[in-house]
Amino acid sequence: MSGLLNADMQTLRGWAEQGWRWWLAELAGLVPRRWREGRHRRLALSLYDPLSGRLDPIGDARPRAPLAVVLPRDLVLTRLIETPALGARDLNKLITLDADRIMPLARGEALLAASARGPAGPGRIQVEVAGLPRARAEMLSLALAHAPRVPAAVLVGAPQPGLAQPVDLLPALRAAGLAGGAERSAAPLWLAVAFLFLINIGLLVWRDTATLDTMSALVDQQAPAVNVAHGIIARMRREDAIAAATVTARRKREPLALLARIDTALPSGTWLQRFTWTGDSVKLAGFHPAKVDVSGALRTAGMAVARYGDTSNAAPSPLGEPFEITLKLGKR
């Protein structure tokens, strides 16, 4: 992790390119072999002449097919070895590390590439290794630079139907900086895609900003009407509260309703002679049968008795015993 944090941009770019090549190699390994062989059959072949440095077309010219440069086999050192069963990327890395033992050239004096040829036993495969001296590789790079289009492969010998595919030296040439890559030729397209993507993001942001400004302006225009509506609603709520309070007070202090409550609460046989309503108090006077608790009956009915006067010691009356009661409204 410390190495990643301390790496400069050039190192990070190299690591990214290595990871990209590894990923492409892994994907290529997933492609069926017959499809990979068919790709070489669709190539437009051009033979490299080391004396003149020209690329001479082989067979019928196919202008739309990918270009493959064919190297004479006597221009390249080849050898057949056995290695553990490895992927294409790991195999080329193994060949590069063991170059001094495989080829009669010191490390760095030749560009190496390898291609699997088939199984050689449990866990092992036969590998054809091709080595191109660096001086010849530099001469070849001049011819590749003047090719009509970017080569898709640099093969050691022409492909033959029914035989193993030739070793491709193009990845080694690209790694050494002696050949341009197809992925670099696509860089302007990727830059155009990135530019259009940024423009698209900018347009989306601008559209959202314009929509937000329009909505804000609409809200500001509607603010006076909304404030008036809020005022009307608040006034209606206050009026509804006043009406509800009035209805509640009227229900509690309606004369006929109060008289009906009192009549229901009074004991049977009680005769009401006088009913006086003054402000928050009601004065009742009348007669009740003997041994009847008028005050208790009214309290049981939920009325507040403020004053009770019983004149049962007065002269007997055929109507009963007289009483006077003062009720307080709004209190229990």
Q: What is the DSSP string of 160-225?
A: -TTSPPPPB-HHHHHHTTSS--HHHHTHHHHHHHHHHHHHHHHHHHHHHHHHHHHHHHHHHHHHHH
For residue 71, the model assigns a pLDDT of 92
| Model confidence pLDDT, tens digit, residues 246-281 | 777 666 667 777 788 888 888 888 888 888 888 778
Q: Is the pLDDT of residue 1 over 60?
A: no
Q: Is the pLDDT of residue 84 over 80?
A: yes
For residue 185, the model assigns a pLDDT of 47
Query: Is 0.85 topped by the overall pTM?
Result: no
CA distance 56 to 90: 34
For residue 50, the model assigns a pLDDT of 87
Q: Coil, helix or strand for 155?
A: strand
For residue 194, the model assigns a pLDDT of 80
For residue 332, the model assigns a pLDDT of 43
Between 266 and 14, the more confident residue is 266
Give me the mean pLDDT over the 52-66 stretch: 77
Indicate the range of 20-24, 33-37, 87-91, 119-123 predicted with least confidence: 33-37
CA distance 107 to 90: 18
| Model confidence pLDDT, tens digit, residues 284-304 | 888 888 888 888 888 888 888
Q: Are 77 and 91 in contact (CB under 8 A)?
A: no
Give me the mean pLDDT over the 322-332 stretch: 76
Q: Which residues contact 80 (CB under 8 A, 6 or more apart)?
A: 117, 126, 127, 128, 129
Q: Is the pLDDT of residue 181 over 70?
A: no
Percent of the chain with pLDDT over 70: 81
Q: Is the pLDDT of residue 163 over 60?
A: yes
Percent of the chain with pLDDT over 90: 2
| Model confidence pLDDT, tens digit, residues 165-180 | 888 888 888 888 888 7
Q: Are 119 and 113 in contact (CB under 8 A)?
A: no
For residue 184, the model assigns a pLDDT of 46
Residue keyed to tokens 């309703």: 257
